[in-house]
């Protein structure tokens, strides 16, 4: 039976031996109604010898407490970079990134260790990175608690509850290789939730699973999100993920380009419709969807011009084929050739 109050109420948190880290964590727990994740003008630049790769280009993102979102995008768009920054596995180059009460741009190494240990859980795509192969299912789930100094009775009590919530109460003593791929990912989710973090990150959690098993994992993540009020951010390529999340965030060229929402149509049982909305960032920038760019190939081109006109309560954006001709102070237009030596207007009097 899921005990959500036990997960989110500080009075039910593990009572490990008194330590400065535990006291600091309790002092830093967020109590306001602010967004739980806030990224503003976030940059990440990787340097390889003389080459610089800009993975994130002024990204803006806000995630509310208890929200479940999915991030999708092409390879190289910045998805994994963003996840690594949120997990504290990498540091941003510039901008602002806050998770709960932690400023991840200005954080000490000691605070970063505490953050990764107690405030964020991570599920990798490859199960080999999530589980210790020679430990049982229960021991894998209890390992992070043991490292955090949680007592044996508390470890056993919470792992038992997690196994029930994951639908694996009869697999507690099995080794990872004795489980199916879907069951291994369920255990990986349990490991990520071991220390009751307020944030769960999942990078392609269903990338190695078949469609039916992937659907089961997504439903489990939604159940955990609702039951424990844990904020969940995941990266995925699963085509029907919008059915299981609050919103889908599309990332392109290192920026958030659009968001998708799936809503019921109320016409047929279970029928839903997904709509995509462009995101206007803090600088007023928008990215046109790829299908529109393909439809108007040659008109919306890199470095070209477009005109935005207000129309009622909307805005119409149309491409400009040719740059306007403007007059210079000398009477020459910008499209004219530069004056030659034979041009009488520029000839000196003898």
How confident is the model over 263-292, as pLDDT tens digits?
877 777 667 788 888 898 888 888 888 887
Of residues 48 and 30, the one with the higher pLDDT is 48
pLDDT above 60 (res 25): no
pLDDT above 90 (res 60): yes
As a whole number, mean pLDDT of residues 171-175 equals 95
Of residues 333 and 207, the one with the higher pLDDT is 207
The closest alpha carbon to 156, from 141, 170, 166, belongs to 141
Domain 4-261 is found in CATH 3.30.565.10 = no
| Predicted confidence (pLDDT) per residue in 182-195, tens digit | 999 999 999 999 99
Domain spans in the chain, listed from the N-terminal domain onward: 4-261
> Residue 12's pLDDT is what?
38
pLDDT averaged over the chain? Answer: 83
CA distance 327 to 174: 80
pLDDT above 50 (res 37): yes
Beta bridge partners of 101: none
As a whole number, mean pLDDT of residues 71-88 equals 93
| Predicted confidence (pLDDT) per residue in 219-230, tens digit | 999 999 999 999
Listing DSSP states for 291-333 in one string gives HHHHHTTTTS-TT-EEEEEEETTEEEEEEESSPPP-B-TTS-B
The closest alpha carbon to 150, from 200, 198, 196, 115, belongs to 196
pLDDT above 60 (res 23): no
Of residues 93 and 6, the one with the higher pLDDT is 93
Q: Model-level pTM? A: 0.81
**3 band by pLDDT with thresholds 50, 70 and 90:** low
> Residue 283's pLDDT is what?
81
Which segments of the chain does DSSP mark as H helices, in order? 4-8, 20-28, 79-86, 109-118, 137-147, 152-166, 181-192, 211-228, 290-295
> Residue 5's pLDDT is what?
55
Helix, strand and coil percent figures for the chain, each rounded to 5: 30, 25, 40
> Residue 192's pLDDT is what?
95
> Residue 335's pLDDT is what?
54
> Residue 324's pLDDT is what?
77
């Amino acid at each position: 039976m899921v005990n959500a109050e036990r997960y989110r109420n500080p009075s039910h948190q593990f009572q490990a031996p008194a330590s400065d880290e535990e006291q600091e964590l309790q002092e830093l727990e967020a109590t306001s109604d602010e967004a739980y994740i806030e990224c503003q003008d976030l940059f990440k630049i990787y340097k390889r010898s003389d080459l610089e790769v800009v993975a994130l280009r002024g990204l803006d993102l806000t995630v509310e407490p208890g929200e479940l979102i999915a991030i999708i995008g092409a390879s190289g768009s910045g998805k994994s970079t963003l996840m690594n920054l949120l997990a504290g596995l990498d540091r941003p180059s510039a901008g602002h990134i806050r998770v709960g009460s932690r400023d991840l741009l200005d954080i000490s190494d000691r605070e970063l260790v505490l953050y990764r240990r107690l405030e964020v859980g991570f599920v990798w795509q490859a199960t080999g990175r999530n589980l210790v192969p020679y430990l049982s299912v229960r021991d894998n789930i209890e390992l992070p608690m043991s490292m955090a100094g949680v007592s044996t009775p508390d470890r056993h009590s919470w792992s038992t509850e997690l196994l029930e919530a994951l639908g694996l109460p009869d697999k507690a003593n099995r080794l990872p290789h004795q489980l199916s791929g879907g069951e291994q990912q369920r255990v990986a989710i349990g490991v990520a939730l071991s220390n009751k973090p307020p944030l769960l990150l999942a990078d392609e959690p269903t990338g190695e699973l078949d469609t039916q098993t992937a659907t089961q994992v997504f439903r489990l993540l939604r159940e955990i999100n609702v039951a424990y009020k844990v904020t969940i951010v995941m990266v995925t390529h699963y085509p029907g993920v919008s059915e299981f999340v609050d919103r889908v965030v599309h990332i392109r060229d290192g920026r958030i380009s659009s968001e998708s929402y799936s809503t019921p149509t109320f016409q047929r049982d279970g029928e839903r419709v997904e709509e995509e909305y462009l995101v206007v960032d803090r600088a007023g920038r928008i990215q046109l969807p790829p299908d529109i760019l393909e439809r108007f190939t040659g008109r919306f081109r890199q470095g070209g011009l477009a005109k935005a006109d207000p129309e009622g309560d909307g805005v119409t954006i149309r491409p400009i084929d040719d740059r306007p001709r403007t007059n210079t102070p000398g009477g020459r237009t910008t499209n004219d050739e530069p004056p030659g030596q034979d041009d009488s207007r520029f000839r000196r009097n003898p």
